[in-house]
Amino acid sequence: MAAKRVEKMANFLPKRLPNENDMNVLLADAYSVFTQDFVTNHPYYLSKRIDFDRRVINDGKEEGFWHLVTREKSGVTNRLPEKDRARCIPWIRPIIENSHYNCVTSFRYLEGSGKERTYLWVEDEDYVVILEERRTAFTLVTSFNVDQPWKRKSLRKKVSKKLN
């Protein structure tokens, strides 16, 4: 693994999308960023292309996109759009591309399901991107705001049990 560059804050992160009251407008803006960052121009992580779940499931948009802007809620069957997740869509690609900075905690972790996942956690911003390595690419699994103390604790525990 390459040496990490010293960078205390995630200065490479662009601004979040505007705090739009109309969720449909926010989702359209988020999808525009997603398309630019992952459909039109593919980023790479550790020399492997970043891919995503391309199944179109809702409103002509891919499952991979919906996993980035929705959240499971207890007692609800479908995942629900979440404003904070959608607003942070512009952060995902820069975090992947700047994961070598010290402000990004990157680690591999073996999940209970047996899947090995790579976490890219910008702890100062309470935001994490999760990738899964395949033979020729990484799949963008999800990303989210770390907005609960129990989730932060869970991530710290995973860091302590990381594979690398």
Q: By residue range, what is the domain housing residue 43? A: 23-160
pLDDT at residue 6 above 60? Answer: no
Kindly state whether residue 126 falls inside one of the protein's structural domains: yes
Kindly state whether residue 2 falls inside one of the protein's structural domains: no
Query: C-alpha distances in angstroms, 90 versus 17, 85, 117, 136?
Result: 7, 10, 22, 25
More confident residue, 75 or 17: 17
Kindly state whether residue 74 falls inside one of the protein's structural domains: yes
Locate 44 and state its tokens: 């790479």
Instruction: Name the nearest CA neighbour of 10 among 82, 89, 97.
Output: 97
Where b means 16+ CB within 10 Å and e means fewer, 108-128 reads ebeeeeeeebbbbbbbebbbb
In whole angstroms, what is the distance from residue 153 CA to residue 137 CA? Answer: 29
Q: How many domains does the chain have?
A: 1
Kindly state whether residue 122 falls inside one of the protein's structural domains: yes
Write out pLDDT tens, residues 24-47.
999 999 999 999 999 999 999 999
